[in-house]
Amino acid sequence: MISDNLESVLRQLPDGVRLIAVSKLKPVEDILEAYQAGQHIFGENYATELRDKYNMLCTHQALSHPATHPLSDIEWHFIGHLQSKQLKYYIPFVSMIHGVDSITHLADVDKAASKVGRTVDVLLQVHVAQEETKFGFSPDELSSSQIQPSAFPNVRICGIMGMASHTDDISRVRTDFHTLRTLFEQLKTNSFASHPEFRELSMGMSHDWHIAVDEGSTLIRLGTAIFGPRDYSKKP
């Protein structure tokens, strides 16, 4: 099922759009099945779960292929709400952090990355949805922000991410994604004009990714569409 779901989604993706398979609350066996089907980018929402899965998969690879580096071509993306005290669980190996929603968190990631001698790719989270429970900079706040990438030497700001309103109103979803795309282009042209690494627009999940791709997403985050429903009673 997982390989079939992957094939179906990848067949529909245009060039320049990458899939993050969101494996939260799913067993490592599911990740291995997706990996063996060719999927090498995975997203996790919970810090300790990400740490534990990374460690389990390292052990699996060490036992089955001891001469190779543990699943070295997996990109682990942390896509959950960032909590500074939990950065230590994944900062040594994470490929990208999607939810940097404040200057304070940007500084926290920079500090944590410095401690382990890394430069970590991040996305700035923007709040455009109707739900107040979501996190992120407002578009106005970010467009007027004086973020200086040079002030965070262990962080590479690679773009922005956001979530559309959770609604059946397709026009509202499209408007949210269009707002993100407009902001992304504005920042790319102005604040980050001299930073070629600023090229990622992460938006779109299992229920709205087609619209996100239409509106210019470069990274889509799909969980249910790949792995099926989750059991949230297993939340760490």
**pTM score, whole prediction:** 0.92
Residues pairing with 19 in the sheet? 220
For residue 212, what pLDDT is reported? 98
Query: Which CA distances in Å does 89 have to 69, 72, 168, 174?
Result: 20, 18, 36, 35
Structure tokens at 62: 């060490």
pLDDT by residue, tens only, the chain of 236 residues: 999 999 999 999 999 999 999 999 999 999 999 999 999 999 999 999 999 999 988 765 544 554 444 456 889 999 999 999 999 999 999 999 998 999 999 999 999 999 999 999 999 999 998 876 678 999 888 877 778 888 999 999 999 999 999 899 999 999 999 999 999 999 999 889 999 999 999 999 999 999 999 999 999 999 999 999 988 777 77
For 85, the token pair is 């005290």
Place of tokens 């109103």: 169
Query: What is the torsional sign of CA 132, 209, 215, 120?
Result: positive
Instruction: Name residues whose C-beta falls within 8 Å of residue 199's C-beta, 6 or more positions apart in sequence.
Output: 158, 159, 188, 218
Residue 148: the pLDDT is 84
Other CB atoms within a 10 A radius of the CB of residue 172 amount to 15
Please compute Rg for the chain using Cα positions. 17
User: Which residue's structure tokens are 């940097």?
Assistant: 100
Give the side-chain half-sphere CA count within 13 A for 221: 24
Assigned token pair, 72: 């070295």
Domains and CATH numbers, the chain: 2-229 (3.20.20.10)
* Encoded amino acid at 135, one letter: F
